[in-house]
Amino acid sequence: MFAKLLTIIGLLSATALGYLLITMPPTEAGAMGILAVFLLSYILSVTILTFFIFLCHRILLKLLYSDRTGHVAGDVSVRKAYYYASILALGPVILVSLRSVGQVGVAEFFLVIALLAIGCLYISRQTS
C-alpha cells in the first residue's frame, strides 16, 4: 500500500514539475514558482531513490545470498528505503540551491556530504 501511494505521489509530482518547467519561464516564476520547483524536485527525487534503494538491495541479496536458505538478516522494506531516500534526496536539492546563489565550493560540498552521512547514521540507529 505504501509503495502504491509513493508511486502515485511521485507521478503527480513529476507531472506538476514537467508542467511548471514547460509553461513557466524562470523570470516570471517568482518566489513561489522557484519554491515549487525545488519542492517537486525533492519529492520526485525521494520517490526515485526509494525504489532505487529498494531494488538495489533486493538485487544484492539475490546475488550474494542466493545459495543460502532461510531469512537473511538486514532486509530493507520500502518504508526503510523511503527513510534513507528522504535524507539522500536532500543532497542534490541543497547543492542546486547553493549553486543558484553561487556559494558551492569544496567546503560546502563536504559539509553537505557530512550532513547526509549524519542523517543516514541517525536513520540506521532509529530503525534497527
The residue ranges of every structural domain in the chain are: 2-127
31: helix, strand or coil? helix
Q: Are 104 and 98 in contact (CB under 8 A)?
A: yes
Q: What is the chain's mean pLDDT, rounded? A: 89
pLDDT tier at 50 (50, 70, 90 boundaries)? Answer: very high
Higher pLDDT, 30 or 18: 18
At position 109, the amino acid (one-letter code) is F
Which whole number is the average pLDDT over 12-34? 91
What contacts 99, CB < 8 A, 6 or more positions away?
A: none
Average pLDDT over residues 83-108: 90
Task: For residue 2, give Cα distances in angstroms to 8, 79, 112.
Answer: 10, 7, 29
Residues 6+ apart with CB under 8 A from 51: 3, 6, 81
- Residue 103 CA to residue 39 CA, distance in Å, equals 20
This prediction's pTM: 0.84
pLDDT attached to residue 54: 92
Least trusted range by pLDDT, from 33-47, 51-65, 111-125: 51-65
Mean per-residue pLDDT, 25-40: 89
pLDDT at residue 120 is higher than 80: yes
